[in-house]
Amino acid sequence: MKNLLDSVQNEGVNPFPTAQMLVENGAGYMQIGAFVSTLMMVGIITMPVEMKYFGRKLTIWRNVLAFIFSFFISP
């Protein structure tokens, strides 16, 4: 649990320490692939900034497609 908190508290989110911890505790590589790609590609916190520069529609489409593509990347 400490590794999870440490990885979230760093500047930005680095999913790799959390992914390592999950693999060591029995998570599968496909699930880790989906976790890492979703965490890196889908930006809920950055949506207001994206909406300001790219528009609401493009921002929502980008996040929805990134979420869907993360499942295609994982297998």
Name the residue ranges covered by the structural domains of the chain: 2-73
61: its two tokens: 């489409």
Q: Taking a C-beta distance cutoff of 8 angstroms, is the pair 21, 8 a contact?
A: no
* CA-based nearest residue to 39, from 57, 63, 55, 59: 63
Q: Compute the C-alpha angle 75/14/34, nearest 5°.
A: 15
Q: What is the pLDDT of residue 10?
A: 44
List pLDDT tens digits, range 39-66. 777 877 888 888 999 999 999 998 899 8
In this predicted structure, what is the pLDDT of residue 57?
95
Q: What is the pLDDT of residue 8?
A: 46
pLDDT digits (tens, 9 = 90+) for 24-36: 999 888 888 888 8
**Cα 14–62–35 angle (5° rounding)?**
35
Contact 32, 22 (CB under 8 A): yes
